[in-house]
Structure 1
Amino acid sequence: MITVRISFKKMNEASYISLLDMQRVMQRVLKRSGLPVWHTLGFNPHIYMTFACPLSLGQESRCECVDVKTEAENPDFAQWQTALNAIMPTGIEVYRVEPVKMKADAIAYACYRIRYPADAAEKLAQYNSLDSLPVEKKSKRGVRMVEMKEYVPTLELETEGESVSFAVCLPASQDLNLNPSLLTAALEAKFGVPAANASILRTEFLTADRQKFE
């Protein structure tokens, strides 16, 4: 049995598909495609699927992936990609299908491009003068304070037409997973830059040694 990684982009209106709905989308698309994917055993068999680092609602991504299994001996992955893209919802595009190279738990960081209207540049630049920016992170384990400046020392702003953007790489491991919305919320609280004006795009995953996750 081969574990297959389906890598896809989730853009525009597709960013508002929740994880639960994304699981349903993939189940239906894989069934409709007729691809030889493996089903779990038991009373209610379903397609085995594992998503890496589920994306928050409203955030876009160029690097999503879901792992499935197949018992096919020599799968044609180019044909898999074509078959899936033919029936994917608008905004979801499969750009690679191949056997798994790295396990999902190798992901240590997620990188993002955060974009604001250009008139936010002056306020955003004030972040670089801060010595500290503690944020409150809530999870099932409770509440903990995280020092954002430890993970994002500075914002390197880039102006592009009517927008300004910056890149950040945040922890995305089982021990610590920081959502970029923590940063945008802190920027709103500190400098009055509305978090609702931020568009968040996940660009890539990195391993603990800062290598690209594949």
Structure 2
Amino acid sequence: MITVRISFEKKNEASYISLLDMQRVMQRVLKRSSLPVWHTLGFNPHIYMTFACPLSLGQESACECVDVKTEAEAPDFEQWKTALNAIMPAGIVVTKVAPVEMKADLIAYACFEIRYPAARKAALEAYNALESVPVEKKSKRKVKTVELKEFVPSLDLTEEGEQVRFSICLPASQELTLNPALLTAALEATFGVPAAEASILRTHFLTAEKTLFT
């Protein structure tokens, strides 16, 4: 049995599909495609699927992936890609289908590109002069204070027409996961830059050694 990784983009209106709904979408799409994916055994068999690092609602991504299994001996992965893209909902595009090379638990960092209106550049640059930016990370069990400057020491801004953008990499491991919304909320609280103006795109994952996760 081969474990297959389906890599895909999730953008525009698809960014508002929750993880639970995304699981339902993939179940339906894989069933409609008639691809030879493996189903779990038991009273209620369903397609085995594993998603890496759930994405927050409203955020876009160029590096989503879901792992499935197949008993096919020599699957044509280009045919898989074509078959899936033909029936994907708007905003979801399969970019690659291939055997799994790295397990998802090797992911240590998620990298993002964040864009704001260019008029916010001066306010965003003020972040760089701050010595400390403590934020509260809430979980089901507790609230933890995290020093954001430890992970985002500065914002390297680039102007592009009517927008300004910067890139950051945040922890995304079992030990610690930080959402870029913590940064946009801190920028709003400190400098009055509305978090709603931020466009967040997850671009890629890194391992603990800072190598590209594939």
TM-score grouping bracket, smaller chain normalisation: over 0.9
1:71 aligns to what? 71
Distance 1:158 1:139 in 2: 33
Matches within 5 A, 1:112-191: 112-191=112-191
**What is the CA-CA distance between 1:34 and the residue it aligns to?**
0.2
Aligned to 2:41: 41
CA distance in 2, matches of 1:163, 1:88: 30
**Mapping of residues 100-115 of structure 1, within 5 Å:** 100-115=100-115
Pairwise CA distance, 1:140 = 2.1
* Per-residue Cα deviation, 1:51-75 (whole angstroms, up to 9, x for no partner): 0001000000000000000000100
Describe the superposition over 1:137-173 as per-residue Cα deviations: whole angstroms up to 9, x where unpaired: 0012311000000000000001000011100000000
TM normalised by structure 1 equals 0.99
Secondary structure at the counterpart of residue 7 of structure 1: strand
TM-score by length of 2: 0.99
Structure 2 residues not aligned, in runs of 5+: none
Q: Which amino acid aligns with 2:99?
A: P
Give the Cα–Cα distance (whole angstroms) in 1 for the partners of residues 85 and 127 of structure 2: 41
How far, CA to CA, are the matches of 1:140 and 1:78 in structure 2?
A: 41
Shift of 1:123: 0.3
Q: 2:7 maps to which residue?
A: 7
Secondary structure class of the residue paired with 1:125: helix
Distance 1:145 1:202 in 2: 24
**Alignment length (residue pairs):** 214
Q: Percent identity?
A: 77
CA distance in 2, matches of 1:121, 1:212: 30
Q: Deviations over 1:60-116 (max 9, x none)?
A: 000000000000010000000000000000110001000000000000000000000
Match of 1:26, SS? helix
Residue 22 of structure 2 corresponds to residue 22 of structure 1: yes
SS in 1 for 2:94: strand
Residue segments in structure 1 that go unaligned for 5+ positions in a row: none
Counterpart amino acid of 1:208?
A
Secondary structure class of the residue paired with 1:108: strand
Task: Provide the C-alpha distance between the structure 1 equivalents of 2:190 and 2:129, rounded to a whole number of angstroms.
Answer: 12
Aligned partner of 2:192 in structure 1 is 192
The 1-side partners of 2:119 and 2:78 are apart by 44
Q: Which runs of 4+ in 1 moved over 4 A?
A: none
